[in-house]
Amino acid sequence: MSRSRPVSGYSAVLISLPSAGLVFWLQLLSVTALANVPAAAALFVEAANWMLTSSIILGFWGATRMRAQIHDLQQRLDVALTDPVTGLAVRRVAEDAIAAVGPNAVLTVAIADVDRLHDINHGPGGYATGDQYLTEAGRRLRHAATDGDLVARLGGDEFVLITRRMPREVAIALTAAFAEPIAVGAGMLPLEVSVGISCFFAEDPHQLLGRADLAMLTAKKRRTRIEIYDPGRDGQPLPSGVRPDNRRRSGE
Protein backbone atom coordinates (compact mmCIF):
# COMPACT_ATOMS: atom_id res chain seq x y z
CA MET A 1 0.00 0.00 0.00
CA SER A 2 1.35 3.37 -0.97
CA ARG A 3 1.66 6.07 1.71
CA SER A 4 1.45 9.75 0.97
CA ARG A 5 4.27 12.04 2.10
CA PRO A 6 3.36 14.90 4.46
CA VAL A 7 2.92 18.28 2.90
CA SER A 8 6.33 20.00 2.83
CA GLY A 9 4.88 23.29 4.05
CA TYR A 10 3.30 21.56 7.03
CA SER A 11 6.63 19.96 7.95
CA ALA A 12 8.35 23.31 7.64
CA VAL A 13 5.97 24.76 10.19
CA LEU A 14 6.83 21.97 12.64
CA ILE A 15 10.56 22.39 12.20
CA SER A 16 10.40 26.18 12.49
CA LEU A 17 8.85 26.16 15.97
CA PRO A 18 11.38 24.36 18.23
CA SER A 19 10.73 26.76 21.11
CA ALA A 20 7.11 25.67 21.42
CA GLY A 21 8.15 22.57 23.35
CA LEU A 22 7.17 18.94 23.58
CA VAL A 23 3.61 19.65 24.76
CA PHE A 24 2.87 21.60 21.56
CA TRP A 25 4.11 18.76 19.35
CA LEU A 26 2.04 16.14 21.14
CA GLN A 27 -1.11 18.26 20.97
CA LEU A 28 -0.63 18.98 17.28
CA LEU A 29 -0.04 15.36 16.42
CA SER A 30 -3.12 14.32 18.40
CA VAL A 31 -5.31 16.77 16.48
CA THR A 32 -4.00 15.67 13.09
CA ALA A 33 -4.54 12.01 13.90
CA LEU A 34 -8.07 12.52 15.23
CA ALA A 35 -8.98 14.69 12.27
CA ASN A 36 -7.76 11.94 9.95
CA VAL A 37 -5.49 14.37 8.15
CA PRO A 38 -3.89 12.63 5.16
CA ALA A 39 -0.43 11.34 5.89
CA ALA A 40 -0.91 11.83 9.65
CA ALA A 41 1.01 8.63 10.37
CA ALA A 42 3.97 9.74 8.28
CA LEU A 43 3.83 13.14 9.91
CA PHE A 44 3.89 11.50 13.32
CA VAL A 45 6.99 9.46 12.45
CA GLU A 46 8.77 12.46 10.99
CA ALA A 47 7.97 14.67 13.99
CA ALA A 48 8.91 11.92 16.46
CA ASN A 49 12.30 11.55 14.79
CA TRP A 50 12.77 15.30 14.89
CA MET A 51 11.83 15.46 18.59
CA LEU A 52 14.28 12.67 19.45
CA THR A 53 17.08 14.38 17.58
CA SER A 54 16.18 17.76 19.07
CA SER A 55 16.02 16.37 22.60
CA ILE A 56 19.52 14.94 22.24
CA ILE A 57 20.86 18.21 20.87
CA LEU A 58 19.04 20.32 23.45
CA GLY A 59 20.03 17.93 26.23
CA PHE A 60 23.67 18.24 25.26
CA TRP A 61 23.33 22.01 24.94
CA GLY A 62 21.56 22.22 28.30
CA ALA A 63 24.20 20.11 30.05
CA THR A 64 26.97 22.19 28.50
CA ARG A 65 25.24 25.40 29.55
CA MET A 66 24.69 24.07 33.06
CA ARG A 67 28.37 23.15 33.39
CA ALA A 68 29.31 26.64 32.22
CA GLN A 69 26.95 28.20 34.76
CA ILE A 70 28.31 26.02 37.57
CA HIS A 71 31.85 26.96 36.57
CA ASP A 72 30.91 30.64 36.52
CA LEU A 73 29.25 30.41 39.94
CA GLN A 74 32.28 28.59 41.33
CA GLN A 75 34.58 31.31 40.04
CA ARG A 76 32.39 34.02 41.53
CA LEU A 77 32.28 32.16 44.85
CA ASP A 78 36.06 31.78 44.84
CA VAL A 79 36.41 35.52 44.26
CA ALA A 80 33.99 36.30 47.09
CA LEU A 81 35.89 34.04 49.51
CA THR A 82 39.36 35.26 48.53
CA ASP A 83 41.03 38.42 49.76
CA PRO A 84 41.91 40.48 46.65
CA VAL A 85 45.15 41.91 48.11
CA THR A 86 46.86 38.85 49.58
CA GLY A 87 45.10 36.00 47.78
CA LEU A 88 44.26 34.39 51.13
CA ALA A 89 40.91 33.12 52.32
CA VAL A 90 38.60 35.63 54.03
CA ARG A 91 37.30 35.61 57.61
CA ARG A 92 34.14 33.65 56.76
CA VAL A 93 36.23 30.75 55.48
CA ALA A 94 38.30 30.74 58.69
CA GLU A 95 35.26 30.73 60.96
CA ASP A 96 33.56 27.99 58.93
CA ALA A 97 36.74 25.90 59.01
CA ILE A 98 36.87 26.14 62.82
CA ALA A 99 33.23 25.18 63.22
CA ALA A 100 33.53 22.29 60.74
CA VAL A 101 36.08 20.26 62.73
CA GLY A 102 33.54 19.23 65.38
CA PRO A 103 32.70 20.17 68.98
CA ASN A 104 35.28 17.90 70.64
CA ALA A 105 38.26 18.98 68.54
CA VAL A 106 40.92 21.26 69.97
CA LEU A 107 42.53 23.77 67.64
CA THR A 108 45.30 26.31 67.91
CA VAL A 109 44.83 29.68 66.27
CA ALA A 110 47.36 32.45 65.89
CA ILE A 111 46.14 35.97 65.17
CA ALA A 112 48.81 38.15 63.59
CA ASP A 113 48.33 41.91 63.51
CA VAL A 114 50.60 44.02 61.29
CA ASP A 115 52.15 46.91 63.24
CA ARG A 116 52.63 50.42 61.86
CA LEU A 117 50.45 49.80 58.81
CA HIS A 118 48.98 53.29 59.11
CA ASP A 119 52.46 54.84 58.93
CA ILE A 120 53.41 52.65 55.98
CA ASN A 121 50.24 53.53 54.06
CA HIS A 122 50.99 57.23 54.52
CA GLY A 123 54.71 56.96 53.83
CA PRO A 124 56.70 56.68 50.58
CA GLY A 125 54.80 54.57 48.09
CA GLY A 126 51.46 55.05 49.85
CA TYR A 127 48.89 52.28 49.92
CA ALA A 128 50.74 50.29 47.26
CA THR A 129 53.55 49.83 49.76
CA GLY A 130 51.02 48.94 52.44
CA ASP A 131 49.50 46.28 50.19
CA GLN A 132 52.96 44.90 49.49
CA TYR A 133 53.62 44.79 53.23
CA LEU A 134 50.34 42.94 53.88
CA THR A 135 50.96 40.51 51.03
CA GLU A 136 54.37 39.65 52.41
CA ALA A 137 52.93 39.12 55.89
CA GLY A 138 50.44 36.67 54.40
CA ARG A 139 53.19 34.90 52.48
CA ARG A 140 55.24 34.49 55.66
CA LEU A 141 52.23 33.00 57.44
CA ARG A 142 51.75 30.50 54.61
CA HIS A 143 55.44 29.63 54.92
CA ALA A 144 54.91 28.88 58.63
CA ALA A 145 51.89 26.68 57.86
CA THR A 146 52.00 22.92 57.35
CA ASP A 147 49.68 20.50 55.55
CA GLY A 148 46.16 20.79 56.91
CA ASP A 149 46.62 24.34 58.23
CA LEU A 150 44.56 27.30 57.03
CA VAL A 151 45.79 30.87 56.66
CA ALA A 152 43.25 33.66 56.18
CA ARG A 153 43.01 37.42 56.31
CA LEU A 154 40.48 38.45 58.92
CA GLY A 155 40.31 42.00 57.59
CA GLY A 156 42.35 45.19 57.74
CA ASP A 157 45.74 44.37 59.21
CA GLU A 158 44.77 41.05 60.85
CA PHE A 159 45.55 37.50 59.76
CA VAL A 160 44.90 34.09 61.28
CA LEU A 161 46.66 30.74 61.15
CA ILE A 162 44.51 27.74 62.12
CA THR A 163 46.28 24.49 62.97
CA ARG A 164 46.22 21.37 65.16
CA ARG A 165 49.80 21.93 66.29
CA MET A 166 50.60 22.93 69.86
CA PRO A 167 50.92 26.65 70.65
CA ARG A 168 54.66 26.62 71.39
CA GLU A 169 55.41 24.84 68.12
CA VAL A 170 53.41 27.51 66.28
CA ALA A 171 55.20 30.29 68.16
CA ILE A 172 58.60 28.93 67.11
CA ALA A 173 57.50 28.67 63.46
CA LEU A 174 56.11 32.21 63.40
CA THR A 175 59.17 33.68 65.11
CA ALA A 176 61.31 32.27 62.31
CA ALA A 177 58.85 33.31 59.60
CA PHE A 178 58.81 36.98 60.62
CA ALA A 179 62.53 37.28 61.43
CA GLU A 180 63.73 38.59 58.07
CA PRO A 181 63.00 42.17 56.86
CA ILE A 182 60.95 42.88 53.77
CA ALA A 183 62.21 44.59 50.62
CA VAL A 184 60.03 47.62 49.88
CA GLY A 185 60.97 49.77 46.92
CA ALA A 186 64.68 50.47 47.10
CA GLY A 187 64.95 49.81 50.84
CA MET A 188 64.34 47.22 53.53
CA LEU A 189 61.80 47.33 56.35
CA PRO A 190 61.46 45.04 59.36
CA LEU A 191 58.27 42.98 59.18
CA GLU A 192 56.71 44.08 62.45
CA VAL A 193 53.85 41.81 63.46
CA SER A 194 52.25 41.17 66.85
CA VAL A 195 50.92 37.63 67.34
CA GLY A 196 48.56 36.09 69.89
CA ILE A 197 48.12 32.33 70.09
CA SER A 198 45.20 30.45 71.64
CA CYS A 199 44.37 26.76 72.02
CA PHE A 200 40.72 25.95 72.68
CA PHE A 201 37.73 23.81 71.65
CA ALA A 202 36.66 24.46 68.07
CA GLU A 203 32.95 24.46 68.96
CA ASP A 204 33.21 28.16 69.84
CA PRO A 205 35.06 30.14 67.14
CA HIS A 206 34.30 33.38 68.99
CA GLN A 207 36.09 32.25 72.15
CA LEU A 208 38.95 30.68 70.22
CA LEU A 209 39.60 33.78 68.13
CA GLY A 210 38.82 36.10 71.03
CA ARG A 211 41.47 34.56 73.28
CA ALA A 212 44.08 34.78 70.54
CA ASP A 213 43.10 38.41 69.97
CA LEU A 214 43.62 39.25 73.66
CA ALA A 215 47.02 37.58 73.63
CA MET A 216 47.90 39.56 70.51
CA LEU A 217 46.97 42.81 72.27
CA THR A 218 49.28 41.86 75.14
CA ALA A 219 52.12 41.16 72.69
CA LYS A 220 51.52 44.54 71.04
CA LYS A 221 51.42 46.37 74.36
CA ARG A 222 54.54 44.69 75.71
CA ARG A 223 56.31 44.71 72.33
CA THR A 224 57.16 41.03 72.79
CA ARG A 225 55.96 40.12 69.27
CA ILE A 226 54.39 36.77 70.23
CA GLU A 227 52.35 35.75 73.27
CA ILE A 228 50.38 32.60 74.12
CA TYR A 229 47.03 33.26 75.75
CA ASP A 230 47.02 33.43 79.55
CA PRO A 231 43.54 34.02 81.08
CA GLY A 232 44.98 35.47 84.29
CA ARG A 233 47.01 38.02 82.35
CA ASP A 234 44.88 38.66 79.26
CA GLY A 235 41.33 38.34 80.65
CA GLN A 236 38.32 36.77 78.95
CA PRO A 237 36.88 37.63 75.54
CA LEU A 238 33.67 39.61 75.42
CA PRO A 239 30.46 37.60 74.83
CA SER A 240 29.60 36.84 71.23
CA GLY A 241 28.00 39.81 69.50
CA VAL A 242 29.46 42.40 71.90
CA ARG A 243 32.03 44.75 70.38
CA PRO A 244 34.59 46.67 72.45
CA ASP A 245 34.15 50.43 72.63
CA ASN A 246 37.73 51.03 71.53
CA ARG A 247 39.80 48.70 69.35
CA ARG A 248 42.80 51.03 69.05
CA ARG A 249 45.98 49.17 69.84
CA SER A 250 49.04 50.38 71.60
CA GLY A 251 51.78 51.26 69.12
CA GLU A 252 49.47 52.11 66.20
Task: Give yes or no: residues 51 and 131 share one domain.
Answer: no
Domain-ending residue, one of 80, 103, 137: 80
Over the stretch 11-31, which tens digit does the pLDDT of each residue have? 444 444 444 445 445 555 555
Rounded CA separation 244/231 (Å): 18
**219 and 149 inside one domain:** yes
Q: Decide which of 34, 57, 80 is a domain's last residue.
A: 80
pLDDT of residue 152: 96
Q: What are the φ/ψ torsions at residue 188 (nearest 5 degrees)? A: -125, 140
Q: For the chain, what is the mean pLDDT?
A: 77
Mean pLDDT for 32-41 is: 51
- Supply the pLDDT for residue 67: 67
167 pLDDT more than 90: yes
Residue 5 pLDDT: 43
Max mean pLDDT among 41-50, 174-183, 224-233 falls in 224-233
In-domain check, residue 41: yes
Q: What is the pLDDT of residue 221?
A: 94
Structural domain span for residue 136: 89-234
pLDDT of amino acid 116: 81
The percent of residues in the chain predicted with pLDDT above 70, rounded, is: 63
116 domain residue, yes or no: yes
As a whole number of angstroms, the distance between CA 205 and CA 98 comes to: 6
**What percent of the chain shows pLDDT beyond 90?**
38
Residues 14 and 113 in one domain: no
Nearest 5°: CA angle at 132, between 114 and 149?
60
Structural domain includes residue 32: yes
Q: Which residue has the higher pLDDT, 207 or 62?
A: 207
What DSSP designation does 35 have? T
Residue 161 in this model has a pLDDT that exceeds 50: yes
pLDDT at site 175? 95
Is the pLDDT confidence value at 68 over 50? yes
Q: Are residues 60 and 115 in the same domain?
A: no
Q: Can you tell me the distance from the alpha carbon of 242 to that of 141, in angstroms, rounded to the nearest whole number? A: 29
